[in-house]
Structure 1
């Protein structure tokens, strides 16, 4: 009589994930059929391979790595499979939105300086230079008497002087300096806000800066030139860029050093102001007031972006900026 042949267990194929990167589903009776000869296979994609083995190693879960059809697979013994699955599931949940994919915006496809902003700034600069040529060719002193900012006359009702003084310059060097800085900074602001809104914001910063300086200065304060507006434009640009930096950094965990990154535009603006705005012989009060006014105006611009998409509004603001200057000079000539 022959001895009965013991029944050989049927080999069980490893459980594999249906697609790379998906976690496998384990059988419910896993704990009832422990067999150290059986393995559960996890098949990660290229991005998940190193993080997954790091997650397993951090919990001291034994695993092995093998290659199959040019793919790397992670094998875990069945007694540790459920713990491995729990750890990898937790890793996927915690890192579901990492790395963060930046949300696309219309600005990503927009050049640093748009064609419309470039030509608008060139046109405005040409008009300012031509006006200076007219002033120099006629009675320059009379033009300055009619349009320069004068605190005594301002408080007597000459409101237009805070506007007309922005278009007057002492000499060609003064004009060229303001045109150079104003063209670069103005083109950036006009590209960001739109031509009409950008021109209006620039003029508003210059007028607000002159008005602030007139109220803060001693009696007899006088000024002329577009430098107050130029530093206002610098303030607008710094405020906008700082706001954008904080918007990108919002909700992101970062170290102490990187927390200062959103403030870099404002710090750069202060450095530029310190070098050029506070130079010997410069109108420090006017430049400071223009810079501060620009920061305030720039800080308000993000809330207006949706409205700035309207071409009608852009045209209206651009026309208003030009119209205010023309009306101010017409009033000055009438009272002169």
Structure 2
């Protein structure tokens, strides 16, 4: 696309008209001048078919320089992402996988009931820092499936569908759900290692915040690979990660919430997402996703069996 900027003076040096090389450049030109605080106005040509940007003579040089800079910065627009094909549309399988996980969480709640009912599943499956340190590592897995009450399980079910499906969209079904599970398990293990004796915790929030942290890293990496412009680092590259951290603050730090668990899940999700960035460059064969799903579900089933369910 040509970066040529056609100009000519009108009635002497008082005003100058800046003609965008294509109609699509008109709005970006106006935005560029506005962001640079250069006074201007818009006119329509005699045929009524093209817009023209008019600047006063004393600002014409600044306006031309600003638009030349704009053309130079956007010469190859739109740039390739540098990290593989464009983001695929959300597939039914992505949403379905989230619904399956949410249904499994609800099924466990139907058997256990609220924590006030003191069902046996809470005794054998809740995260107990002292017992976990004594060797009952499976509690880091089983505790993800237990919830305190209906609101607790419903909130996590919605979160796992939203964040898990979104992560599945960018990483693929298998790797995404393995990452979600591992971030929850590692978050629980880390919390148990840091917590005082007598610490107990339940809920899938650690895993859902792991998905949120992973999404922030993945989207930030996509933005960086796409723009590669230091001027856009904070406005574009770090915006997804900042948004994810903000959601952690809004949703994960209430008075009755497991703040440490949420933070550990978020951190592990972000760390585990780093090696997964390579998955954005290619499509994995179906059997890899199947093996990931089989491995994750087997870990959950084995953990409950070890717990004595």
State how far apart, in whole Å, the 1-side matches of 2:139 and 2:302 are. Answer: 12
State how far apart, in whole Å, the 2-side matches of 1:276 and 1:131 are. Answer: 23
Which of these residues, 204, 210, 215, is aligned with residue 193 of structure 2? 215
Contact 2:145-2:204 at 8 Å conserved across structures = yes
CA separation of 1:220 and 1:48: change in aligned 2, threshold 3 A = closer
Task: Verify: 1:333 aligned to 2:308, yes or no.
Answer: yes
Contact 1:308-1:314 at 8 Å conserved across structures = no
Contact 2:126-2:200 at 8 Å conserved across structures = yes
User: Any residues of structure 2 matched to 1:232-311 within 5 Å, and which?
Assistant: 232-250=210-228, 252=229, 255=231, 259-305=234-280, 309-311=284-286
State how far apart, in whole Å, the 2-side matches of 1:195 and 1:49 are. Answer: 47
- The Cα shift of 1:299 comes to 1.9
CA separation of 1:288 and 1:259: change in aligned 2, threshold 3 A = closer
Rg bigger for which structure? 1
The equivalent residue for 1:226 is 204
The more displaced of 145-154 and 95-104 is 95-104
State how far apart, in whole Å, the 2-side matches of 1:215 and 1:100 are. Answer: 49
Task: Verify: 1:192 aligned to 2:170, yes or no.
Answer: yes
Deviations 1:117-144 (A, max 9, x none): 111111111122112112229x752110
Task: Verify: 1:50 aligned to 2:28, yes or no.
Answer: no
CA separation of 1:308 and 1:220: change in aligned 2, threshold 3 A = farther
State how far apart, in whole Å, the 2-side matches of 1:290 and 1:332 are. Answer: 22
Q: How many residue pairs end up in the alignment?
A: 246
Deviations 1:3-53 (A, max 9, x none): xxxxxxxxxxxxxxxxxxxxxxxxxxxxxxxxxxxxxxxxxxx93552699
- The Cα shift of 1:187 comes to 0.7
The equivalent residue for 2:42 is none
The equivalent residue for 1:130 is 107
- The Cα shift of 1:308 comes to 5.2
User: Any residues of structure 2 matched to 1:162-173 within 5 Å, and which?
Assistant: 162-173=140-151
Deviations 1:82-123 (A, max 9, x none): xxxxxxxxx9xx969923443378643621x21111111111
- The Cα shift of 1:303 comes to 2.3
Contact 1:197-1:308 at 8 Å conserved across structures = no
The equivalent residue for 2:131 is 153
State how far apart, in whole Å, the 1-side matches of 2:283 and 2:198 are. Answer: 40
Which of these residues, 117, 123, 128, is aligned with residue 94 of structure 2? 117
CA separation of 1:160 and 1:245: change in aligned 2, threshold 3 A = same
State how far apart, in whole Å, the 1-side matches of 2:104 and 2:280 are. Answer: 28
- The Cα shift of 1:314 comes to 1.0
Contact 2:170-2:280 at 8 Å conserved across structures = no
State how far apart, in whole Å, the 2-side matches of 1:275 and 1:159 are. Answer: 30
Contact 1:148-1:223 at 8 Å conserved across structures = yes
CA separation of 1:225 and 1:97: change in aligned 2, threshold 3 A = closer
Structure 2: stretches of 5+ with no match in the other structure: 9-67
Q: How big is the alpha-carbon RMSD for the aligned residues of Structure 1 and Structure 2?
A: 2.8
Contact 1:208-1:293 at 8 Å conserved across structures = yes
TM-score (norm 1): 0.67
State how far apart, in whole Å, the 1-side matches of 2:303 and 2:264 are. Answer: 21
SS in 2 for 1:331: helix
CA separation of 1:262 and 1:225: change in aligned 2, threshold 3 A = same
